[in-house]
Structures are given as structure tokens and as C-alpha cells.
């Protein structure tokens, strides 16, 4: 593996390949060989070593062009190698389907769960839902077809880390892989104990219930539920009747024992063993894909936002402000900006400690969030300074927003050890083109008016409508 990685680095640097690409392909061979010959522990070890080597090659190949994009292929390798390892180990299972009995699918579940103990995923169905003739070719696993569909799934889902774009891609991919008429994916929010739905082609899709019906049963039992079982078990039919009963399969997406969401499927040949196996594959792959996208989004938000207040950080705010100003100039609409600074903030840290200072910052930021318009761009500019850009807003309207924030902060003391700590802010407001023409000049003017408010006695808002030039 080390030799392959070294050769991959040379190839990647010499031919200017995408960082990580050479290792991704070259290390596939040892992953397949080890997975087919070894036990589960060795397979997982070689898989993760391959992912690490892929990351090393990616970083070396990227060189000075190293960026967050460099991690895309190494992250994808984790996903791809696990799938390859899973498929390469398939010879350990029986390739020929025995005649189905009540225990056939539970046995298949036991074998599968032995390799994936964290998912606890089973197919909940009965033998009557499958034609039981073992001599029928339709009841042999068609591995070439499964591999072809798996390749299609990988090509669709491994490169997409944007959650809003990934979810409709997963629905389309599942629909094609299962030859289904319709697929709907709903994410699960454990905190609210409810489902949430992404925007889906402008169509309104009702959310499934978390307390009754098929979705509630799947949430409780963490199993794939096939419609044929509902039709053949009166007790089960009574449990799930009345909600989404026209779906043919309900598939939980579970990653590392965490419920990610549920995929509802209409159509497809549910009597086919290939269909049932593909449900397993889709469940595992989709859960990992969604989880990776959620982690990527979380990391991206951590990089964009201030950890204490939840507002945009200094760098991100300036980037977004430049885009906002460019759009305002292009479409000729007003844009104003105001900056606020907590008065005598240093005394909170010096007198009561930095934890109280942090509490003051969080409560002030919360008021800014509550009172700013929904289209406002909010940020923590630095220290105790906050900043807000208001598109489609003239300076008098912006002054009123700033004044409302100032009054709310003044009337909302911070509680500390049975004491009410008085907090006030001073603010300055400036408008684009009067005379500022870019973000640097606009912030400079707002900052000047902010310090004018400080010099005039603090706890007030100063606007710059009378300014005709920049110093």
C-alpha cells in the first residue's frame, strides 16, 4: 500500500491530477483483495488505512493549492471503500436463494447485521410476498446488475456535499435504482421528535406522522417495512392503517445508530430479491451520504459564524456585504449599514469577569437577531462591536431599526447574582452612495458616526444623512 501511495503521489504531481484521485483508484485493489480474504476487523483496518493514504496523497498533490476542496475525494474514499469492502465480502454469503420460509429473511438479516452491527437494519416481510420457486432465475441475486446500479448510485451521491442539492438527488437515484414511480425522503429531527422536509420541486408533500402509521412503526422497530407484510398481517395492518398506506416500501436511514430519516417508495418489483437487496444498499449508502453532508454543513457553519453569538464572523460578513453591495448597485436599490458598540463593555469583564462579559455579548446579539428584519445581514465585527446591513432600506428606516435595538437593550438588564446589570449601546448609521461607494467606505462612515455617538454621551444612534464627502 505504501508503494502504491508513493507511485500515486508521483503520478498525481506529474500529471496534475485532482488531489486524491490516483490513490482512490490504486488503493481499490488491496481493499478488494483483503475484503474478500479476511475477517471483518482486517477489512475495516485496511479500509481506513487506504482512506488515510488517500488523504496523504491528496495533501501532497495539492501542495500550495491546499484548500477545503482537497478533502472532497478523501471523504468520498471513506464512503467508496466501505461499499467496495462490503461487496467484496459478499462471497461469504450464500449466492443462491433457498426456498423462502418464515425464517429465511431473518437469517439473511442476521448474516447482514453480523457485518454491520451498528445499523440493526432488517427487512420486515414474509415469505408469501416472494415467489418461492428456487429454480426461477428471478430468485437469484443478479450481482452484475446490483454492481451496475451501485456504480450509478456512487457516481450520483459521493461528490455532493450540499444537503439541499443532495436530498433531491437521492430521491431521483433511488427511483432509478428501484425502477420506482415515486420516492420521498424525509429527514428526522430527534429533538422535536418530528420529520422535516426539504424543498421539493415546488411541490407540497405532507409530512409523515411520527406517532402513527408506517413511519411510526419504522421509527420504533428500525426496520424496512414492505407493503406485502402489512396486507398479510391483520395486527400490523391495524397499527399502520390510515397513513401513507399506498407506499410499497418504507426504508429507515440509520448511520452509527442514529436515525437520519426515512425514504418512502412507490412502485418497483417488491417481489424481486434484487429489489430487497437494493433496499439494504440504499439504506446504508443514503444514510452515510446524508450524514456526511450534515457534518460538512456543520463544519461550514462553524467556519462562517462567530462561536459565541451565532452571528456571521468578521471575514464572512465582509464577503457577504461585498456581494450585497454589488447586487444593490446592479439593481439600483438602497442599502444602509449601521454599527453598534456596547458602552463601557470593559467594565463588565474587569468587574464581574469574562463569563459575564460573554453573557452580555450573547444577550445583546440575541436582541439584534430578534429585531433585525429577516433580510438583514448580521455580524459580530469584533470584540463588542456588532454590524448590520439592510438591503432595500433608506437611512431613516435603518435609523429606526437601530433605535429600536438600542431601546430594547437599554430596557433589558443582564441578570448576575441577583443583580440587574445595565447595558447600553451607541450606534452609527450610513447609507450607500451617500457618499460611500463600496464596503470599505460604508463601514468607515458608520464607524465614524458610531464614535460621534460615543463622544456625544453614548447610548444613542447617530445617522450620516448630511455627509457629503469622505475624509
The predicted structure's pLDDT at residue 140: 61
| Residue 384 annotated in active site | yes
Q: By CB neighbour count within 10 A (0-12 exposed, 13-18 middle, 19+ buried), where does 454 fall? A: middle
DSSP for 250-313 reads: EEEEEETTEEEEEEEEE-S-TT-HHHHHHHHHHHHHHHHHHHHHHHHHHHHHHHHB-TTT-SB-
Rounded Cα distance between 388 and 340, Å, is 9
Q: Which residues contact 443 (CB under 8 A, 6 or more apart)?
A: 321, 337, 339, 387
The predicted structure's pLDDT at residue 177: 87
The predicted structure's pLDDT at residue 202: 52
Q: 3-state SS string over 195-251? A: EECCCECCECCCCCCCCCHHHHHHHHHCCEEEHHHHHHCHHHHHHHCCCCCCCCEEE
Query: Cβ atoms within 10 A of the Cβ of 291, count?
Result: 16
The residue from 160, 384, 441, 448 that is catalytic is 384
The predicted structure's pLDDT at residue 82: 59
The predicted structure's pLDDT at residue 22: 56
Residue 48's alpha-carbon distances to 45, 88, 374, in angstroms, are 5, 16, 44
Peptide bond into 435 cis (omega under 30): yes
Q: Which domains does the chain have, with CATH numbers?
A: 1-90 (no CATH), 93-300 (3.30.450.40), 314-463 (3.30.70.270)
First and final C-alpha spacing in the chain: 64
The predicted structure's pLDDT at residue 102: 37
Instruction: Give me the torsion for CA of 147, 170, 293, 258, rounded to 10°.
Output: -80
The predicted structure's pLDDT at residue 252: 93
Query: Cβ atoms within 10 A of the Cβ of 265, count?
Result: 27
Rounded CA Rg of the chain? 29
The predicted structure's pLDDT at residue 389: 97
Which pTM was predicted? 0.55
DSSP H/E element including 391: strand 385-391
The predicted structure's pLDDT at residue 248: 86
Provide long-range contacts, Cβ within 8 A and 24+ apart, for 235-243. Answer: 240/212, 240/213, 240/214, 240/216, 241/213, 242/212, 242/213, 243/208, 243/209, 243/212, 243/213, 243/214, 243/215
Rounded Cα distance between 447 and 338, Å, is 8
Helix axes 143-157, 273-304, angle to 10 degrees: 20
| Length of the chain (residues) | 471
- Mean pLDDT of successive 10-residue segments in the chain (471 residues)? 57 55 58 58 66 66 58 60 58 38 41 42 41 43 71 75 85 88 89 74 69 84 85 76 69 90 88 84 88 88 90 95 95 96 93 93 96 96 95 95 96 89 95 91 94 94 61 43
The predicted structure's pLDDT at residue 465: 53
Q: Which residues contact 72 (CB under 8 A, 6 or more apart)?
A: 20, 159, 161
Amino acid at each position: 500500500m505504501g508503494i502504491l501511495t508513493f507511485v500515486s503521489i508521483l503520478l498525481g504531481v506529474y500529471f496534475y491530477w485532482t488531489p486524491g484521485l490516483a490513490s482512490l483508484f490504486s488503493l481499490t485493489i488491496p481493499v478488494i483483495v483483503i475484503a474478500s480474504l479476511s475477517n471483518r476487523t482486517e477489512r475495516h483496518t485496511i479500509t481506513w488505512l487506504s482512506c488515510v493514504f488517500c488523504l496523504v496523497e491528496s495533501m501532497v498533490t495539492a501542495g500550495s493549492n491546499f484548500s477545503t476542496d482537497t478533502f472532497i475525494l478523501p471523504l468520498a474514499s471513506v464512503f467508496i471503500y466501505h461499499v467496495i469492502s462490503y461487496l467484496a465480502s459478499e462471497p461469504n454469503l450464500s449466492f443462491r436463494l433457498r426456498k423462502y420460509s418464515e425464517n429465511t429473511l431473518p437469517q439473511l438479516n442476521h448474516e447482514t447485521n453480523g457485518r454491520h452491527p451498528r445499523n440493526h437494519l432488517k427487512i420486515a416481510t414474509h415469505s408469501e410476498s416472494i415467489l418461492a420457486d428456487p429454480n426461477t432465475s428471478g430468485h437469484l441475486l443478479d450481482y452484475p446488475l446490483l454492481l451496475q446500479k451501485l456504480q450509478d448510485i456512487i457516481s450520483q451521491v459521493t461528490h455532493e456535499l450540499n444537503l439541499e442539492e443532495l436530498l433531491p438527488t437521492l430521491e431521483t437515484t433511488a427511483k432509478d435504482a428501484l425502477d420506482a414511480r415515486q420516492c420521498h425522503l424525509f429527514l428526522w429531527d430527534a429533538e422535536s421528535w418530528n420529520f422535516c422536509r426539504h424543498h421539493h420541486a415546488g411541490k407540497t408533500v405532507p409530512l409523515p406522522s411520527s406517532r402513527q402509521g408506517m413511519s411510526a412503526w419504522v421509527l420504533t422497530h428500525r426496520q424496512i417495512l414492505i407493503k406485502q407484510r402489512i396486507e398479510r398481517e391483520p395486527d400490523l395492518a391495524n397499527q399502520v392503517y390510515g397513513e401513507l398506506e399506498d407506499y410499497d416500501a418504507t426504508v429507515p436511514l440509520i448511520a452509527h445508530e442514529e436515525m437520519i430519516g426515512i425514504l418512502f417508495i412507490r412502485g418497483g418489483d417488491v417481489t424481486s430479491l434484487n429489489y430487497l437487496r437494493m433496499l439494504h444498499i440504499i439504506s446504508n449508502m443514503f444514510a452515510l451520504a446524508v450524514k456526511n453532508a450534515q457534518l460538512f454543513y456543520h463544519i461550514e457553519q462553524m467556519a462562517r459564524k462567530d462561536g459565541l453569538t451565532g452571528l456571521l464572523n468578521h471575514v464572512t460578513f465582509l464577503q457577504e456585504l461585498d456581494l450585497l453591495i454589488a447586487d444593490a448597485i446592479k439593481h439600483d436599490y438602497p442599502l444602509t449599514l449601521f454599527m453598534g458598540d456596547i458602552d463601557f463593555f470593559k467594565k463588565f469583564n474587569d468587574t464581574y469577569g469574562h463569563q459575564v462579559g460573554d453573557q452580555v455579548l450573547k444577550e445583546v446579539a440575541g436582541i439584534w437577531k430578534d429585531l433585525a428584519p429577516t433580510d438583514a445581514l448580521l455580524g459580530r465585527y469584533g470584540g463588542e462591536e456588532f454590524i448590520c446591513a439592510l438591503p432595500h432600506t433608506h437611512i431613516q428606516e435603518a435609523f429606526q431599526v437601530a433605535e429600536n435595538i438600542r431601546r430594547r437593550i437599554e430596557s433589558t438588564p443582564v441578570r448576575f447574582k441577583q443583580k440587574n446589570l445595565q447595558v447600553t449601546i451607541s450606534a452609527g448609521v450610513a447609507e450607500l452612495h451617500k457618499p460611500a461607494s463600496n464596503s470599505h467606505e460604508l463601514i468607515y462612515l458608520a464607524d465614524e458616526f458610531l464614535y460621534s455617538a460615543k463622544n456625544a454621551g453614548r447610548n444613542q444612534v447617530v445617522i450620516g444623512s448630511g455627509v457629503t464627502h469622505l475624509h
